[in-house]
């Protein structure tokens, strides 16, 4: 028995080992096959997916307006992620996308140019056919190399000009420093030649908006018939408009849709005619409460501009919200209805139905949003009839309410019309410029609060300090509240100086901005006021490659002055020079 067992045992063990080896070999082979498939498989480009495009072009960055009295920051450029959880494409994502697109363009260029010239030898005298695919690929490659601060979104087919071997082309783009996905348009003229290998190349390009043959005409509208915009302008004249701006006022519609809605209505309070930062802080509090209560906010489009920003030196009422902020973006991100339309529908409903709409009047901010959360009234009407500061809207969001109400900063962007001017100015400097912010005005005169500011921002000191951080003969944009235009002439011996007033034609009476805001204003011209100047100045400053701030790069003084809780030496040690070179 023992001998039989000794014979069969090795056979069984060998059989088990053989089966194990076979199974392991099958496993290794399967893994190898899947590895080869994974390496060689090329999935479709997600950027070609309509769903991906929809998601990417509708995601927005946060917006905020925390400022001093002279510089206005916005979420298009410096979004504060902690204020709102809204997702946005990161800079790394954008860089990754661009790097993925570059080799694709180069391959397409090689294919396209070789295809177009394969019929014969290279002939430098041959006229360029601008519609040839290789021409567009050469222009794309040129743009990617020379305009690194720009994300190119789409191109139109180049068109011929009256000059041989020149092509005009238009494209849409966004700036890398602007976190929103709003698009802008440029059109330029390119001179096309040939490489040694007979492929197309760009010999040279003209400046911003030089390719007039490729410019797509603006939609032309009649000012008296534009849908959804209140206007008394009955002239037969018409104007161009940016066809990507939708300023129309949303309309509720039927009585039933009005009755089924839930609304939060704020009457005008002490915030009216306060400075713009105060207005924004209060407005976003009201909008945040509406979102917390899951209600539509009733919005007054009339803005009172504080005297700080008016040429008359007095508060000016009747300014349109759409002059300053992106109403289209606000409509897309928040549930709002315009006040005049709302009141008209309210009166019409009660007249037709002979009954009152459920209404709750809230006389004090001390009644918190949490107490109103379960209220079933169609309209909650907050009234602010008490003396200041008890009648400020933002009081609603104080104390315990601050734990529940989130201000929707991501809903508030600057007006696209103002941002078009920003793109025009930046584009005319070919997106290759540095900037300095020079605060003077009343602060420079107040030697008690800012003892060094006037001297530190004098022309001689500006030259000395800027030469240490910005190379000579660069384009230098000066964002400033200094009213004397020739104050910065000393800088012109060292830099190509640009001031906002150098671009007056962008809001002059022949500009698109002038015509479009005139439509919003019932046919009356709109002044390019001080607040608009600050907004444009600041946005151009943010797009500079090197930014030099007044506080604390140019002066020893602190932004808030002395005796304001910050000792001068601490301010000088901790803050001075922190922004120089920041892109």
Mean pLDDT of 186-198: 90
Distance, in Å, from the CA atom of 516 to the CA atom of 513, rounded to the nearest integer, reads 5
Please, are residues 507 and 517 in contact by the beta-carbon 8 Å criterion? Answer: no
Contact (CB, 8 A) for 475 and 429 = yes
Distances (CA, A) of 340 to 76, 121, 228, 343: 30, 70, 12, 5
Q: What is the pLDDT of residues 22-62, one digit of tens each?
A: 888 888 888 777 776 766 655 444 333 334 333 433 343 33
pTM (2 decimals)? 0.75
Rg of the chain taking only CA atoms, in angstroms = 31
pLDDT tens-digit map of 197-216: 888 999 999 999 999 999 87
Confidence of residue 195 (pLDDT cuts 50, 70, 90): confident
Q: Please state, in angstroms and rounded to a whole number, the distance separating the CA atoms of residues 357 and 60.
A: 36
CB neighbours of residue 7 within 10 Å: 9
Query: Is the pLDDT reported for residue 539 higher than 70?
Result: yes
Domain borders along the chain are 1-41, 91-214, 255-411, 416-575
pLDDT surpasses 60 at 113: no
Residue 472: band (very low, low, confident or very high) from pLDDT cuts 50, 70, 90: very high
Q: How confident is the model over 327-380, as pLDDT tens digits? A: 999 999 999 999 999 999 999 888 888 788 999 999 999 999 999 999 999 999
Helix or strand holding residue 55 (H, E): helix 50-58
By percentage, how much of the chain surpasses pLDDT 90?
Answer: 58
- What is the structure's pLDDT at 522? 92
Question: Region 487-509: what's the mean pLDDT?
Answer: 97
Lowest mean pLDDT: which of 98-107, 275-284, 325-334, 516-525?
Answer: 98-107
67: confidence class by pLDDT, cuts 50, 70, 90 = very low
User: What single DSSP character describes residue 582?
Assistant: B
Written in H, E and C, the secondary structure of 433-457 is: CEEEEECCHHHHHCCCCCCCHHHHC
> pLDDT band for position 122 (50/70/90)?
low
Cβ burial 141-166 (10 Å sphere, 16+ → b, else e): bbbbeebebbbbeebbebbbbeeebb
Q: What is the mean pLDDT of residues 475-492?
A: 96
Phi-psi region of 24 (alpha: psi -120 to 50; beta: other; left: phi over 0): alpha
Residue in 422, 405, 332 with CA at minimum distance from that of residue 60: 332
Separation in Å, CA 72 to CA 63, 415, 569: 11, 13, 27
E-only strand ranges, 144-199: 150-155, 159-160, 166-175, 184-194
Output the average pLDDT for the chain: 80
Query: Could you tell me which of 454, 458, 479 has the C-alpha nearest to residue 557?
Result: 454
Q: What is the pLDDT of residue 215?
A: 85
| pLDDT (0 to 100) of residue 41 | 55
- pLDDT greater at residue 219 or residue 580: 219
Using CA atoms in the order 24, 29, 32, 33, what is the torsion angle rounded to 10 degrees?
-140
What integer pLDDT is reported at residue 355 of this predicted model?
81
pLDDT at 17 over 90: no
| Contact between residue 391 and residue 269 where contact means Cβ atoms under 8 Å apart | yes
Inter-residue contact 155 to 140 (CB < 8 Å): yes
The mean per-residue pLDDT over the stretch 86-105 comes to 43
Mean pLDDT of 112-117: 42
Predicted local confidence at residue 75, as pLDDT: 47
Query: What whole-number percentage of the chain has pLDDT above 70?
Result: 74
In this model, does residue 575 exceed pLDDT 90? no
Band (65; pLDDT cuts 50, 70, 90): very low
- Region 506-525: mean pLDDT is 94
pLDDT bucket at 439, cuts 50 / 70 / 90: very high
pLDDT mean over 167-180: 87
pLDDT band at 571 (very low <50, low <70, confident <90, very high): low
Is 346 or 84 the better-scoring residue by pLDDT? Answer: 346
The per-residue pLDDT for range 333-344, each reduced to its tens digit, is: 999 999 999 999
**228 pLDDT more than 90:** no
* 3-class state of residue 329 by DSSP: helix
Mean pLDDT to the nearest integer, 280-288: 97
| pLDDT number for residue 248 | 86
Supply the pLDDT for residue 2.
45
**Does residue 121 or residue 288 have the better pLDDT?**
288
Locate tokens 């640009």: which residue?
A: 498
For the residues 555-578, what does the mean pLDDT come to?
61
Mean pLDDT in residue range 142-150: 91
Residue 35 has phi, psi (to 5 degrees) of -65, -45
- Which residues are registered as beta bridge partners of 168? 159, 189
Q: What distance in Å separates the CA atoms of residue 78 and residue 539, rounded to the nearest whole number?
A: 10
The bridge status of strand 219-222 relative to strand 238-241 is antiparallel
- Residue the block writes with tokens 């190509």: 496
pLDDT value for 244: 76
pLDDT tens digits for range 293-303: 999 999 999 99
Helices (H) and strands (E) in the chain, counts: 18, 18
> Given 1.10.1660, 1.10.357, 3.30.70, 3.40.50, which CATH number is that of 255-411?
3.40.50
Map tokens 């420093």 to a residue. 177
pLDDT band at 389 (very low <50, low <70, confident <90, very high): very high
């Amino acid at each position: 028995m023992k001998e039989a067992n000794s014979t069969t045992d090795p056979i069984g063990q060998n059989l088990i080992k053989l089966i194990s080896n076979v199974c392991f070999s099958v496993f290794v082979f399967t893994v190898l096959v899947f590895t080869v498939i994974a390496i060689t498989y090329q999935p479709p480009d997600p950027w070609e997916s309509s769903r991906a495009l929809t998601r990417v072009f509708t995601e927005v960055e946060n917006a905020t307006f925390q400022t001093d009295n002279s510089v206005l920051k916005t979420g298009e450029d410096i979004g504060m992620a902690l204020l709102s959880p809204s997702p946005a494409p990161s800079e790394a994502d954008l860089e990754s996308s661009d790097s993925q697109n570059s080799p694709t363009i180069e391959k397409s260029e090689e294919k396209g140019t070789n295809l177009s010239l394969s019929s014969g030898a290279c002939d430098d005298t041959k006229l360029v056919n601008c519609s040839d695919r290789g021409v567009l690929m050469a222009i794309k490659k040129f743009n990617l190399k020379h305009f690194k601060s720009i994300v190119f979104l789409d191109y139109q087919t180049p068109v011929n000009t009256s000059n041989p071997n020149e092509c005009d082309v238009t494209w849409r783009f966004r700036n890398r420093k602007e976190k929103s996905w709003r698009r802008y348009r440029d059109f330029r003229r390119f001179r096309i030649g040939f490489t040694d290998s007979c492929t197309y190349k760009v010999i040279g390009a003209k400046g911003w908006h030089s390719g007039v043959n490729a410019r797509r005409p603006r939609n032309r509208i009649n000012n008296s018939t534009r849908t959804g915009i209140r206007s008394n302008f009955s002239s037969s004249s018409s104007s161009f408009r940016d066809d990507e701006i939708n300023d129309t006022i949303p309309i509720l519609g039927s009585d039933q849709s009005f009755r089924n809605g839930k609304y939060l209505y704020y009457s005008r309070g002490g915030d009216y005619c306060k400075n713009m930062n105060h207005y924004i802080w209060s407005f976003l509090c009201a909008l945040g409460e509406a979102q917390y209560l899951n209600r539509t906010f009733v919005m007054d489009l009339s803005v009172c501009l504080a005297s700080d920003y008016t040429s008359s030196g007095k508060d000016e009422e009747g300014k349109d919200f759409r002059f300053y902020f992106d109403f289209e973006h606000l409509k897309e991100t928040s549930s709002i209805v315009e006040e005049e339309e709302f009141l008209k529908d309210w009166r019409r409903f009660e007249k037709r139905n002979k009954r009152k709409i459920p209404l709750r009047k809230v006389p004090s901010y001390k009644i918190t949003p949490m107490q109103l959360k379960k209220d079933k009234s169609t309209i909650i009407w907050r009234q602010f009839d008490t003396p200041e500061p008890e009648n400020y809207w933002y009081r609603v969001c104080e104390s315990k309410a601050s734990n529940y109400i989130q201000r929707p900063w991501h809903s508030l962007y600057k007006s696209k019309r103002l941002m078009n001017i920003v793109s025009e100015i930046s584009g005319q400097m070919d997106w290759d410029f540095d900037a300095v912010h020079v605060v003077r005005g009343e602060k420079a005169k107040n030697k008690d609060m800012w003892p060094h500011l006037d001297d530190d921002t004098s022309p001689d000191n500006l030259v000395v300090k800027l030469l240490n951080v910005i190379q000579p003969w660069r384009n230098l944009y000066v964002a400033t509240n200094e009213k004397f235009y020739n104050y910065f002439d000393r800088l012109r011996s060292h830099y190509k100086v640009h001031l906002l007033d150098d671009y007056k034609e962008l809001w002059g009476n022949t500009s698109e901005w002038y015509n479009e805001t005139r439509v919003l204003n019932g046919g009356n011209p709109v002044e390019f006021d001080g607040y608009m100047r600050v907004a444009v100045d600041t946005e151009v400053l943010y797009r500079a490659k090197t930014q030099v701030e007044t506080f604390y790069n140019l002066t020893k003084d602190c932004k808030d002055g002395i005796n304001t809780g910050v000792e001068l030496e601490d301010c000088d040690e901790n803050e001075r020079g922190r922004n120089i070179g920041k892109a």
